[in-house]
Structure 1
Amino acid sequence: MRAKRAKKYRKIMNTYQLHYSFREPYQVLITSDCLRAIHAFSMPIHQFLENTLHGKVMPYITQCTLGKVMEGYSGKGRDGRPKYLPPPTEVPLRYCKHKDDEGQERGVIPEAECILDLIGGQAKGNEQKKNKQHFVVAAADWDEGIKDAKEKETAAQQRRKRLKMGKPDVDVRDHARVIPGVPIVYVKRSVMILEEPSLATERAIRGVEREKYKDGVGGAARGVKRGREDSEDEDDDEDRAGGAKVRGLQKARGPNPLSVKRKRPKMSADVGQVTTDDGSQPANKSKTKRRRGRRGKGTGQHVDGAENVDAVAVEAESS
């Protein structure tokens, strides 16, 4: 596979992983036409599917697909099993149960209807079909891989006969594109191709992104974190908006009390009395510091005002 195509396929699968929760190993439903094309071009199933989907795969065939493959074969002898039917160890059988409107099992049904029923989740009424089981559909054209001209003409006659009887063959890929989130792989001339996401898939992705945009950038992630703040500010927002809460309005908050400079008490006219802004004296009066005098140059004693100077002079005369 070329690097450009591999990069494109990897990007497509990343889209399904991101928006539709696809995980490895991918469950691949293979149709009978795809089995015939894979065998005709000698393509190893696991290797080509893993290279196309860029991950581990688990291929399956349904009971209804097996019933279509075994049409015209007795199951015994040399021609009892078609050559393009892989062994159960390579492609296991997936059991499918189809029920009608009354809840009764229908048994084996046409292959296309079976696969569409599995990937559609058996929706009822007007319910939107969803690929809940995360299936990948691998299909091919009805004449892909038929190299013999006689076999191809026989297959074309059978298709025309079913069309006249009012039972035309249903194209699985056309109906699978209507269901969002269904990766489609098909074989064309010994090349396995992964289709781009269908219009239904892209429309569903745009709808989800539109809902996220309405909630705001990171709305889903910050919903839990902002829940407490919204509940605290609910009353203020209602009063401000006139009743209903308006998104985006925030409560006006004051400055951080730790960053505000404290008000200093004012000194009153009376010396030694400290008053606050309202005129009252604080409960705890701060003690005034005792002022120490300067040391004398000759005596080495403290001089504290005029009284200390007289004391020093008296002591000098007596000595």
Structure 2
Amino acid sequence: MKVNKQKRHRKTLTFYTACHGFRKPFKVLCDGTFVHHLLANRIIPADKALSNILSANVILYTTRCVLAELKRLGASYSEALNAANKLMVARCEHDKCVRADICITEVVGEKNSEHFFIASQDGDLRKKLQEVPGVPLIYGLRNALFLESPSAFQREYVKTSEEGRLHMSKKEYQIFRDRAMNRLAGEEANDSITGVMENKDSGDQAINVQAVRSITSRNKTDIKDKPQFKRKRAKGPNPLSCKKKKSHENQNIGSMKEMKGDDTVRRSRKRTRSRKRQMPADIGN
């Protein structure tokens, strides 16, 4: 499948799933012309070919009227009849079999409540179903299958239905109005009852109000509405982590001590004189 074809099919599927509530697995209602086209072009198995287009599992359906029409067409459509008999049969309320296109249009109804994908090679049937909202159409072209884009009517129907949901209908407006009137009447009744009670108790309430005001005026100075926190002021540095300042007086005293110490050392030194011991004259002689 080509890329452009895949994108187009994906857009069409999102339109029907988002706006009309189609859900997986998708239901495909096939007529006799479509079954015959699949067999003639060897597009088999049919459920796999359709699931490739719709990117989901599919369940194939047909109707009793379609089977009866294939039977009437004779031996040339016998293979198509055998293949159609294997499909699930959608319920149609026809006691006597009618034409296949009429049967399919009646099964689809006004809004396709059963969410069928209609697979047909009948161009007139497809044109008729384009005027019905929420009916996706599938057809075959040689050995390829295609999902038709939504028609202009279907797109316009979705747009108008969305605009209609934004506004209230007449019934909804009437219900809303009745509820609002009942609510206002109830509020007025409650106000009248409370007004009578207020007139009786007005004297007591005035006394109570004055008492409360006097109490609150006394306690205004004592009661503090908000907790007051102490401001954190900037503190000095940690004295243990700082070096002590050396004063100039201590330095001078230290230098004087050193000078004095030198003097004392010098003074304490004594001169030793070498004295020669003289021998007495007597001893020498």
| TM-score class normalised by the smaller sequence | 0.5 to 0.7
When the two chains are superposed, the root-mean-square deviation of aligned CA atoms in Å is: 3.4
1:118 alignment partner, one of 103, 107, 127? 107
Q: 1:199 to 1:86 in 2, by over 3 A?
A: farther
Q: 1:72 to 1:112 in 2, by over 3 A?
A: closer
8 Å Cα contact 1:61/1:91 also seen in 2:
yes
Q: 1:54 to 1:174 in 2, by over 3 A?
A: same
1:135 alignment partner, one of 116, 121, 140? 116
* CA deviation string 1:36-90 (max 9, x = no partner): 11001110210111111221111111111111111154xxxxx597123344674
The answer to whether structure 1 residue 108 and structure 2 residue 105 are counterparts is no
Match of 2:61 in 1: 60
Q: 1:58 to 1:200 in 2, by over 3 A?
A: same
Q: 1:286 to 1:94 in 2, by over 3 A?
A: closer
Aligned residue runs from structure 1 range 237-316, under 5 A: 281-282=214-215, 285-286=218-219
Q: 1:281 to 1:208 in 2, by over 3 A?
A: same
Match of 1:161 in 2: none
Match of 1:193 in 2: 146
Q: 1:206 to 1:286 in 2, by over 3 A?
A: closer
Task: Measure, in 1, the Cα distance between the counterparts of 2:69 and 2:85.
Answer: 20
Which ranges in structure 2 are unaligned for 5 or more consecutive residues? 169-175, 185-212, 223-285
Task: Measure, in 2, the Cα distance between the counterparts of 1:96 and 1:181.
Answer: 19
8 Å Cα contact 2:136/2:150 also seen in 1:
yes
Q: CA deviation at 1:209?
A: 2.4
TM-score for both structures, normalised by structure 1: 0.51
Match of 1:49 in 2: 50
Match of 1:70 in 2: 71
Aligned residue runs from structure 1 range 87-106, under 5 A: 87=83, 90-98=86-94, 105=95
Task: Measure, in 1, the Cα distance between the counterparts of 2:139 and 2:221.
Answer: 96
* CA deviation string 1:136-186 (max 9, x = no partner): 1101148xxxxxxxxxxxxxxxxxxxxxxxxxxxx2111111111100000
Task: Measure, in 1, the Cα distance between the counterparts of 2:121 and 2:126.
Answer: 9
Q: 1:191 to 1:288 in 2, by over 3 A?
A: closer
Q: 1:186 to 1:288 in 2, by over 3 A?
A: closer
Task: Measure, in 2, the Cα distance between the counterparts of 1:194 and 1:32.
Answer: 18
Task: Measure, in 1, the Cα distance between the counterparts of 2:53 and 2:7.
Answer: 10
1:209 alignment partner, one of 162, 174, 178? 162
The answer to whether structure 1 residue 176 and structure 2 residue 129 are counterparts is yes
Match of 1:243 in 2: none
Match of 1:124 in 2: none
Which ranges in structure 1 are unaligned for 5 or more consecutive residues? 74-78, 99-104, 121-128, 143-170, 216-226, 236-279, 290-319
Hey, which of these two has a bigger chunk of helix by percent? 2
Secondary structure of residue in 2 paired with 1:197: coil
8 Å Cα contact 1:180/1:198 also seen in 2:
no
Find the structure with the greater CA-based Rg. 2
Letter in 2 for 1:136: F
Task: Measure, in 1, the Cα distance between the counterparts of 2:102 and 2:6.
Answer: 32
**Which 4+ stretches in 1 moved above 2 angstroms?**
84-90, 92-95, 211-215, 280-289
Q: CA deviation at 1:281?
A: 4.1
* CA deviation string 1:236-271 (max 9, x = no partner): xxxxxxxxxxxxxxxxxxxxxxxxxxxxxxxxxxxx
Q: 1:284 to 1:43 in 2, by over 3 A?
A: same
Match of 1:275 in 2: none
Letter in 1 for 2:53: T
Count of aligned pairs: 187
Match of 2:22 in 1: 22
TM-score for both structures, normalised by structure 2: 0.57
Secondary structure of residue in 2 paired with 1:82: helix
